[in-house]
Chain A
Amino acid sequence: MQEIDEDGARKLLRPLDGDPDQPSAVRVETLLRAGRRRVRRRRMLAGGGLTAATAVVLVAVPVALAAVRDAGPGQVAQPGYPTPDDRYATGLTPPPVPTRCTPYRLPLPPGATESQVLDGDPSGRYLVGIARDGRTARTWTLRWDRGVLSVLEPPTTDPAQLLVNSQGVVAGDGIAVRDGTAVRVSWVYRYGRYVDLTDSAGSYLGDVLDLNEHGDVLGGVRTLALQGKPAGTKGGPPEPPGGQGGTPGDGAGASTPAPGGGRSDDHTLVPGRQPVVWAADAERSPTRLAGDGSGEPYVTGLDDDGTMVGGTVQFGADRAARMTVWPPDGKRRTLAPPRGHGVNPGHLSIRHGWVLGWSYPPAGGEEKVVPTRWNLRTGEVAPLTGLAWVSAINRYGWVAGFVRDASGVETPAVLAGERTIVLPMPAGAVPGKEGPAAVSVSDDGRVVGGVVSVAPDDAATAAVRWTCE
């Protein structure tokens, strides 16, 4: 082992030294409340420990058997798995609102102690997720086909994002080792093989963000642009055309520091996500959204017809944030928030013209952000008051998410039409405040993918599907 130049190491890291630049969000009173609550909960669990342990064992046995059985040949579908109703794969008439949903723990690889569903396809046939052995930190990437487990072996570890469509195409990203160096890689799994998503030179182009029914993958190149007016006294970045920052890589509108000049203090580094789309079978020939000088795009959703949704943000003197739709014809338009609400250009998703996102409530509301739904065909926009948090939207505007009760306990739920369906918990689940959620709802409304907590304090979660009828 070579000796380390300690002074050199300190010098290298010194720029990071310092205290947090914000006042503490930790309050001693909050700690006392949280600590007392946890002590009470422990006592309660200790009192009912035997009953709880028995219940877990009774549940665990059939799940473990199912994992072995389902992995074997000859299984067509997990018993009881609903047949997708094709009538709702097209058309505009929504299916009837379900009246009953039944939870099933999804089968897992032997050894997995934690799991979660990350996405489900519009037909309800596929769910994808991850599992983990909490003792060894081993992880698995999983796809369930009609409830039957298969373990994927993507070129990356621990995918941060995992998406699936009705053809069983899976897209994801994560860390891979290439030429001895750990690098981020985006990939797509189709026709039984994994293909890297890159530019024509084979370079990584950003995180995977969405996947549509054609197999087109939306990626986001993380960008960091300088925006803002020059201070006028120190030189600094000249204002781009129109007074707005550009997108690195798009050429036009890029704000370039003045040659030989120092940068102004009066500018802001603005993170963005420049969208790139890999059409199916064009894994090395992505198309980019052309910059139009309207601020830094932060795209997050891709519809089947190529429409993209996201935000546009600019800082500096012309500070503005917009929720934005980029239709295939390139005529960008802005999505207005509900009346009286504020713009929140965070994560937006889209399915068949329905857009799911967030807005800031009118002043005085208790919630910090409000789930919001737009119908691009009719122009309607409405805050979704039935759900506390939302994850996904289907062809008919049905939304997966969770509800939260007065004590903060969260329960997976689906907003179907105007009705909120609170989903029942499977055996072995415990109330959770950080884990439970529905994350997908099929177009026919019959299959919901999600997660429940199975240990106190959400220390472990389990992948669940609900069959609704």
Chain B
Amino acid sequence: MQPDWEQEYVEFVTAAMPKMRRLAYLLCGDAHRGDDLVQQTFTTLYVRWPRVRTVHHLDGYVRTVLIRFFQGEKRRLWSRRVRLTDSPPEPLPRGGPDVEERTVLRAALDRLPRRQRAVLVLRFLCDMSVTEVAEALSCAPGTVKSQSFHGLATLRRLLDEPSVAALATPSTAAAPSIAAGLPDAKGRS
């Protein structure tokens, strides 16, 4: 790559990094996996830089690439699954009820299909419009609306489930059905 293009790339990446890290973190619910996603996205961007550096609205392009990698992440994890060993359980962040509420909500969100998860995060945490989300996910606005509706309905139903609610009060859980989907140290679930 030409040195001046590489300098452009470095400047763009440096500026876009915080925003992309936040998006990846919200999608994955895990800083490490989020950073993997960001690294994958920006490495791909490097390869494509000579072609895309002049793209209009480059931010949006990179966001779309990241979301596509997120949606395809399962496949990459799948191909790595043989080597997964459980890491020693890491302590979750210290904290009180707020941490527990986040843990429960995250566990429920992680049970949604990836596209629904992406729709909810983009619409209601990143404040993107239906049209913008549709563009980012390469689907029709109607699909975004229906995915939003079904995703929220499922999320609310899961949050009412005793198995998910048990995460909030694990020490008192007499029922054995602690929810699956509790993210463990390497994101295997």
Contacts and interface: CB of A to CB of B under 8 A. Distances in A.
Interface of A: 1-2, 4, 6, 9-10, 12-17, 19-22, 24-26, 28, 30-32, 34-36, 38-39, 42, 114, 116-118, 130, 132, 134, 137, 158, 160, 181-182, 184, 199, 203-207, 221-226, 237, 245-246, 248-249, 254-257, 262-272, 296, 298, 300, 311, 313, 315, 321, 344-347, 358, 389, 391, 402, 434-435, 437, 439, 450-451, 458-461
B149 A439 contact: no
Contact of B96 (A262, A311, A459): A262
Interface in B84-127: 85-89, 91-103, 105-106, 109, 111, 120-121, 123-125
> Which 6 A-B residue pairs are closest in the complex by CB-CB distance?
A35-B46, A347-B85, A184-B180, A20-B31, A224-B170, A248-B173
Interface stretch (B34-42, B51-59, B131-139): B34-42
Interface string B19-39: 001100110010110110011
Contacts of B120: 9, 13
Contacts of A347: 85-87
Given A39-B1, A256-B172, A270-B91, A34 B81 contact: no
Contact of B180 (A204, A237, A460): A204
Given A9-B123, A182-B111, A15 B101 contact: yes
B146 to A, nearest CB: 6
| B contact patch SS | helix
Contacts of A268: 91-92, 94
B75 A224 contact: no
Centre residue among A199, A268, A439 by max chain B CB count within 10 A = A268
29 contacts: A2-B149, A4-B149, A10-B124, A12-B124, A12-B152, A12-B155, A12-B156, A15-B101, A19-B18, A22-B31, A24-B35, A25-B31, A25-B39, A26-B21, A26-B42, A31-B39, A31-B43, A32-B9, A34-B43, A35-B43, A205-B176, A248-B170, A248-B178, A256-B171, A262-B96, A269-B103, A344-B88, A389-B83, A434-B79
A272 B155 contact: no
| A contact patch SS | mixed
Contacts, number: 249
A114 B103 CA distance: 34
A440 to B, nearest CB: 10
Centre residue among B17, B82, B157 by max chain A CB count within 10 A = B82
A222 B152 CA distance: 25
Given A224-B178, A257-B169, A300 B86 contact: yes
A118 B31 CA distance: 28
A21 B93 CA distance: 9
A271 B189 CA distance: 13
Contacts of A315: 91
A434 B188 CA distance: 16
Given A24-B17, A35-B47, A254-B171, A9 B124 contact: yes
Given A13-B125, A271-B92, 15 more contacts: A15-B102, A16-B102, A17-B125, A20-B21, A32-B10, A36-B1, A182-B111, A222-B179, A256-B171, A262-B96, A270-B89, A300-B86, A435-B79, A458-B79, A460-B79
B8 interface: no
B170 A226 contact: yes
B176 A439 contact: no
Contact of A226 (B80, B148, B171, B175): B171
